[in-house]
Amino acid sequence: MAKGPPSAAAAGRIRSFNVMPTSYAEILKHEYLLRLNRVIDYIQNHYAEDLNLTKLAEIACFSRYHFHRVFRALVGETVNEFVRRVRLERAVHKLIMDKYKSITDIALECGFSSSQNFARCFKSYYGSTPSLVREHFNWESWKFKMRNFKKDEGQELPAEATDLLNHYRTQRHLSIEDILDRRTEMEVRVAEMPPRRVAYVRRRGRSANWETTREIFTRLFQWAGDRGLMNKETLAMGVIWGNPDVTPGDKLIYDACITVPESIKADKWVNVQSLPGGKFAVHRCEIAANGHDEAWMSMILNWLATSDYQPDDRPAYEIYRNDPAAHPLKHQILDLCLPIRPLYV
């Protein structure tokens, strides 16, 4: 993927390959998904507000009854389950990062009616209490455990550090030891990024490498090419909604995006959303097809953990700078864009 079409030949292949829905059943499902994605976008951006079924059904242009059934069938969760999970995941981020904010304030900021209701939902979903998560998994504690992974030979790791290491090895398939062994000084720039209006096609699931997202980018490029939207100013991007350490893998959301002018509206093929700007850490890297998770973790371990910044709760994204198919090693060149805020305020 690149600024504008990946290449003239690749653009030709995209235009000649029909990936748009063709049958009535496919078109109907596609239309339903577009409507539900508008609701998901609304929930992600307004999770602290009153998100009753009537309001969300109106956004999707469904009746309450039909909306509830379609949402569960296509998203895999009920509307209430999805809203509750998004609120809890945002709360986890605040518990980890906002150490001076009270749990009651966090509960109210994330849309819960009281700290008691929040604690009950939190314990039911995560099997732990908000205070324990804050105590053991706050940003400073995480960094301390990571630094202590490199012990002298024969010296045992603390049990908590071992559990964390095993989590990354078995759940994320990441070797933290290897990432630390390859530690080098990273070129990371801190930049004020502008808000961006993007057209997107959405995919659910953990994997977000070029091979698994090729189809949705092909669909997006075809749509944009037909409308004359691919030019030297166009950015191809991947937006990541959720935290792989908190969000179940099958519920992570990945949006294949291209930047578009403000005049472009959603239609029957793609949705449109606005991504917030602000302060980001930007690292350009070259990776193999399955190297996304490792690249992000390397940036977090080898730069962020020793910087004067911490992660913010805006979505992280990737900007793609080449067409992997045209690379001699099929590698991808991309900018990792991590939203950050000062560690000390």
Average pLDDT over residues 62-73: 94
CATH number among 3.20.80.10, 3.40.50.620, 3.40.47.10, 3.40.50.2000, domain 189-342: 3.20.80.10
Kindly tell me if the per-residue pLDDT of 109 is higher than 80. Answer: yes
6-20, 85-99, 209-223: least confidently modelled range: 6-20
Residue 158's contacts (CB-CB under 8 Å, 6 or more residues apart) are: 145, 148
Q: Where are the alpha helices (DSSP H) in 171-325?
A: 176-181, 210-226, 292-302
Its pTM stands at 0.84
What is the maximal distance between C-alpha atoms in the chain?
64
Whether the per-residue pLDDT at 19 is higher than 60: the answer is no
Contacts of residue 147, Cβ cutoff 8 Å, sequence gap at least 6: 305
Q: Is pLDDT larger for residue 27 or for residue 223?
A: 223
What per-residue confidence (pLDDT) applies to 242? 86
pLDDT above 60: residue 112: yes
- Which range is most confident: 10-14, 155-159, 176-180, 315-319? 315-319
Task: Render pLDDT for 238-272 as a digit per residue (tens, 0 to 9).
Answer: 998 988 888 888 888 999 999 999 999 998 889 99
The pLDDT of residue 161 is above 90? no
Segment 187-198 shows an average pLDDT of 96
Rounded mean pLDDT, 188-205: 94
Phi, psi of 245 (to 5 degrees): -85, -10
Residue 14, judged by CB atoms within 10 A of its CB (0-12, 13-18, 19+), counts as buried
Mean pLDDT of 169-177: 72
Of 250, 270, 164, residue with least CA distance to 207: 250
DSSP string, 76-143: SS-HHHHHHHHHHHHHHHHHHH-TTS-HHHHHHHTT-S-HHHHHHHHHHHHSS-HHHHHHHHSHHHHH
Give the span between the Cα atoms of 66 and 170, in whole angstroms.
40
Yes or no: say if 239 and 259 are a contact pair by the CB < 8 Å rule. Answer: no
What's the chain's average pLDDT?
85
Domain with CATH 3.20.80.10 in the chain: 189-342
pLDDT score for 115: 94
**Confidence (pLDDT) at 4:** 38
Whether 25 has a pLDDT exceeding 60, the answer reads yes
Confidence grade of residue 86 (pLDDT, cut at 50, 70, 90) = very high
Residue 143: is its pLDDT beyond 50? yes
**Distance between CA atoms of 303 and 315, rounded to whole angstroms?**
19
Mean pLDDT score, 267-293: 92
